[in-house]
Amino acid sequence: MNPFDLIKNFPIRYKLLFIYSSCFFVIMTLSSLIIFSIVKQNVQANIESELKNSTTAIHNTIKTAVSVSIKNRLRGVAEKNYEIIQRLYDHAHQGEISETEAKNRATDIILSQSIGISGYICILDGHGRVLKHPKKSLEGLDISDHRFVQEMIAIKNGYIEYEWQNPGDAYPRPKALYLTYFKPWNWMITVSSYRKEFLKLVDIDDFKEGILNLKFGKTGYSYVMDTKGNVIIHPELTGINVFTDKRFSGQFFREMLDKKNGKLEYAWKNPGETRYREKLVFFNYIPEYDWVVASSSYLDEIRSPLYAIKQIIILVGMAALVIFIPITVFLSDTITKPLHSLMEKFKEDIAGGFSNRSVEMESSDEVGQLAFYYNSFMDRLATYDRELLSEISER
């Protein structure tokens, strides 16, 4: 049987209730889906933007912190050696030792030091000629044609980043130096290190706390690791290698470290937790240090506002339906009650003959007009009835 045929035979009240309720349900469902979809996209976009911006900020913070740390480290070494040279100069000036011996002692002390793995200290004169260098083949060379040396000559004291190729090196490598100028001997003391070795000079504690203090949602966090799987900074896993630690499969980390920049969704369980939870992570690569900086958050925490919104939509829909049904019943009664009254009048007229029974007009709408036409029709029938009876009696 066609369901519409069944509905067609329903009383008007139930037809109206069914039609209005169906329309209400469809409209509420579509509206809720649209609102929920828009809110979901906005919440997701806002969280992703926060994670992305935080990762970028951490990336820049680390680069700045490392740069400042290196600068301070090189400056500290340069200033310490300046103090040593100053003391030896004072001894020579006071006649305790000769100036030649003072310079030799200063040179021995300077060349005995190393900075990081292969960084070093060397001495140039104020015109850019190499006086003392760990590579003896460079001593005596005029390197003032190099731009960074010209900058050294100009500033005499300060920090410079440049590229340098020592004898035996296959290609120039990025370096940084801090120089101080000892005017009595016309010496520029330069303390330099290769950028790839900067991390050996960095105190990670300088920026570790700032990274660990970042939170996303209730328990989301940021972390740093290198491309070999060593965890540099993490709330729980600092110091481990995710590729050798048997607690982790390493698959997600391999994908992230191979990709180096971007975002991923993955399942994760911290030590001490009982179940895996889905996470979203944004990550950036710092090539100078071979580090990957990541910011992550759990998807259930990201979407928690959506669950609240979903419940609100359901409650509002149910409340609206509770209000809507009585209103629909009331409206249907304004139609069906006059119709029922009219039907009763018809039944009485059919059973008892035509009489001057009239239906009270309670409104001027279609139902009221129907009552008016009924009254007019019954008046006409009553008139015809009287006239017919009159004619019969006359015969």
The distance of Cα 89 from the centroid of its chain, to the nearest Å, equals 59
- The answer to whether residues 156 and 82 belong to one domain is yes
For residue 246, report the phi and psi dihedrals to the nearest 5 degrees: -70, -10
Domain count of the fold of the chain: 2
- Res. 109: pLDDT tops 90: yes
- 75 assigned to some structural domain: yes
User: Which one has a higher pLDDT value, 113 or 290?
Assistant: 113
- 382 assigned to some structural domain: no
Report the pLDDT averaged over residues 12-21: 73
- Rg of the Cα atoms in the chain: 45
What is the crossing angle of helices 366-394 and 304-352, to 10°? 10
Domain that residue 162 falls in = 64-198
- The answer to whether residues 175 and 72 belong to one domain is yes
For the ranges 98-102, 128-132, 160-164, 312-316, the lowest mean pLDDT is seen at 312-316
Structure tokens at 192: 């330099």
The confidence score (pLDDT) of residue 243 equals 87
The confidence score (pLDDT) of residue 358 equals 65
- 38 assigned to some structural domain: no
- The answer to whether residues 191 and 293 belong to one domain is no
pTM of the model: 0.59
**What pLDDT, in 10s, does the model give residues 170-197?**
888 888 999 999 999 999 999 998 877 7
Structure tokens at 355: 């009489």
- The answer to whether residues 218 and 160 belong to one domain is no
Amino acid at 1: M
- Res. 75: pLDDT tops 90: yes
Report the pLDDT averaged over residues 280-291: 86
Q: Using CB atoms within 10 A of its CB, is residue 357 exposed (0-12), middle (13-18) or buried (19+)?
A: middle
Alpha-carbon distance of 30 to 24, in angstroms, equals: 10
User: For residue 80, what pLDDT band results from cuts at 50, 70 and 90?
Assistant: very high
Closest CA to 208 of 245, 233, 176, 186: 233
The confidence score (pLDDT) of residue 274 equals 78
Q: What is the dihedral of CA 109, 110, 113, 115, to 10 degrees?
A: 160
- The answer to whether residues 161 and 217 belong to one domain is no
Name the average pLDDT for the chain. Answer: 82
- The answer to whether residues 208 and 194 belong to one domain is no
